[in-house]
Amino acid sequence: MAIEIKVPQFPESVEEGSIATWHKQVGEAVTRDELVVDIETDKTVLEVVATEDGVLTDILKQAGDTVSSQELIGRIEPGAIASGTTKSDEPKPADGAAAQGDAAFAANPAAKKLAEEHNVDLLKVQGTGKDGRILKEDVQHVLNVPKGLEPAPAAAKTATPALTGERVEKRIPMTRLRVTIAKRLLDAQHNAAMLTTFNEVNMGPLMDLRKQYKELFEKTHNGTRLGFMGFFVKAAAEALKRFPAVNASIDGNDIVYHGFFDIGVAVSTERGLVVPVLRDCDRMSIAEVEGGIRNYAVAAKDGKLAIEDMTGGTFTITNGGVFGSLLSTPILNPPQTAILGMHKIQERPMAVSGQVVIQPMMYLALSYDHRMIDGKDAVQFLVAIKDMLEDPARMLLDL
């Protein structure tokens, strides 16, 4: 008889979810405890594993379909033989998340008892035992009662404090945004030959320029402030023109060179980092860049950024300097092949023509995918940006 694949019991606060990915196609063999389908909810991604060896015979809900708790979404014919021979030799060991589906059955007796006594939903308890089994101590962990065996509150209060002390922990599920960020960052690290080259730029000339024209600029451009970001974006766009590889992306075994310069600017929001994209930066004026960034920042704060605003960039600039970072190695934003990191401006003694001069310096970092970009290009790209920023006239003169 076919085994039904059902959506796991959602936690109380979750009403519905959607099918994220079917990891198996109809007709494909599955082994017990093998991941079959991911179901995404607002809070997290639930993994549903096969409960028996067999073949996936039915998919009733496709990726993207909305599903509710316990809804039937597919069937497995146990013991059947797959049409192909894709049976993997090594069944994936069930991890904590995989065991969630039948958490109530994978909990030790004392764990169940303690959970019931304290109204703890076993689905929300991360099991640390064999195959994700929930142990008594896992429930204790949730209850945050590290001392004493018995849930006898009176006794616990009079008891001397445990030697370990109260070490509070709070466990909350990652937001979908955070999950996405985590996944993309990890993918970037795993899938690229990433390295970082550094340089430093004397911000003196730009600061002077800014001081000189700040008020006039603001007046002329309807209140748009003259910041540094406009210069960086323009310098980057100019450098990207000279080094097309840095503006390209990798798609499988193909290199895709882009004839446009869409630069993402990382904006920090309360919910995490978002990267809205400024389109055709090469054709924008500095005032348009500054205005665009300001509009995006406002939209991001209100959570009104559209997906389209954040997709399709060819290069990214991130500014850790606003938080005080002196030096960092940014992570690529795939499928882009490079990212520029700006940092804090700090006065440092520099050797200029044999003299020690105090200059406002900023470190620049360029992380790049070495599969695509040669070290020479990356270094020269960064030097080009440095040269333009230290002598802004070069931007006008195409030098």
Partner 1 sequence: MSQKYDVAVIGAGPGGYVAAIRAAQLGFKTVCIEKWIGKDGKPSLGGTCLNVGCIPSKALLESSYKYEEAAHDLELHGVSVGKPKLDVAVMLKRKDTIVGNLTGGIGGLFKTNGVTHLAGTGKLLPNKQVEFMGHDGKSEALHAKHVIIATGSVPVNIKPAPLIDDLVVDSTGALEFRSVPKKLGVIGGGVIGLELGSVWNRLGSDVTIFEALDDFLALADQQIAKESRKIFAKQGLNILTSTLVKGTEVKGKKVEVTFESKDGTQTQTFDKLIVAVGRKPFTDGLLADGCGVTQDERGFIEVNEVCETAVPGVYAIGDVVRGAMLAHKGSEEGVMVAERIAGKRAQVNYDTVPSVIYTHPEVAWVGQTEEQLKREGVNYNVGVFPFAASGRAMATNETAGMVKMIADKNTDRILGVHIVGPTAGDMVAQAVIAMEFGSSAEDIAMTMFAHPTVSEALHEAALAVHGHAIHIANKRKSA
Question: Minimum distance between the CB of residue 52 and partner 1, rounded to whole angstroms?
Answer: 20
CA nearest neighbour of 48 among 6, 16, 4: 6
Q: Which two tokens stand for residue 196?
A: 């970082």
CB of 140 to partner 1, least distance (A): 6
| Least distance to partner 1, CB of residue 151, Å | 9
Q: Rounded CA gap, 164 and 147, in Å?
A: 9
> What is the helix (H) or strand (E) element at residue 136, kind and residue range?
helix 136-143
Q: Does 87 sit near partner 1 (CB under 8 A)? A: no
Side-by-side strand order, sheet with 72-78 = 3-6, 72-78, 54-59, 29-30
- The only residue of 62, 90, 254, 397 in contact with partner 1, by rule CB under 8 A: 90
Q: Are 376 and 358 in contact (CB under 8 A)?
A: no
Q: Does 163 bind partner 1 (CB under 8 A)?
A: yes
How far is it, in rounded angstroms, from Cα 90 to Cα 81? Answer: 17
Count of positions on this chain that bind partner 1 (CB under 8 A): 26
Q: Does 256 bind partner 1 (CB under 8 A)?
A: no
Secondary structure (DSSP) of 181-225: HHHHHHHHHHHS-EEEEEEEEE-HHHHHHHHHHHHHHHHHTTT--
Residue 236 near residue 228 (C-beta atoms within 8 A): no
Q: Which of 21, 57, 108, 196 binds partner 1 (CB under 8 A)?
A: 108
Q: Which stretch in 12-20, 71-79, 85-93, 217-225 sits in contact with partner 1 by CB under 8 A? A: 85-93
**18 makes contact with partner 1 (CB under 8 A):** no
Question: Given candidates 129, 204, 334, 360, which one binds partner 1 under the rule CB under 8 A?
Answer: 129
Minimum CB separation from partner 1 for residue 48, in Å?
22
Among 374, 377, 391, 398, the active-site one is 374
- Residue 306 binding partner 1, by CB under 8 A: no
Q: Is residue 110 close enough to count as binding partner 1 by CB under 8 A?
A: yes
CB 235 within 8 A of CB 271: no
Told to check if 136 binds partner 1 by CB under 8 A, we report yes
Nearest to 20 by CA among 38, 8, 34: 38
Q: Please identify, among the stretches 128-136, 238-246, 263-271, 328-336, the one whose residues bind partner 1 according to the rule CB under 8 A.
A: 128-136
To the query of whether residue 370 is one of the catalytic residues in this protein, the response is yes
What six digits make up the tokens of 164?
């370990």
Q: How many residues does the chain have?
A: 399
Active-site position among 58, 343, 370, 377: 370
**Binding segment for partner 1 among 141-149, 196-204, 223-231, 358-366 (CB under 8 A)?**
141-149
135 near partner 1, rule: CB under 8 A: yes
Q: Judged by CB under 8 A, does residue 152 bind partner 1?
A: yes
Nearer to partner 1, 78 or 151 (CB): 151
- Phi first, then psi, for residue 361 (nearest 5°) are -110, 150
Give the C-alpha separation, 371 to 342, whole Å.
Answer: 23
Interaction of residue 137 with partner 1, rule CB under 8 A = yes
Q: Rule CB under 8 A: which residues touch partner 1?
A: 89-90, 93, 108-111, 113, 128-130, 133, 135-137, 140, 146-150, 152, 155, 162-164
Q: Which residues are catalytic?
A: 370, 374
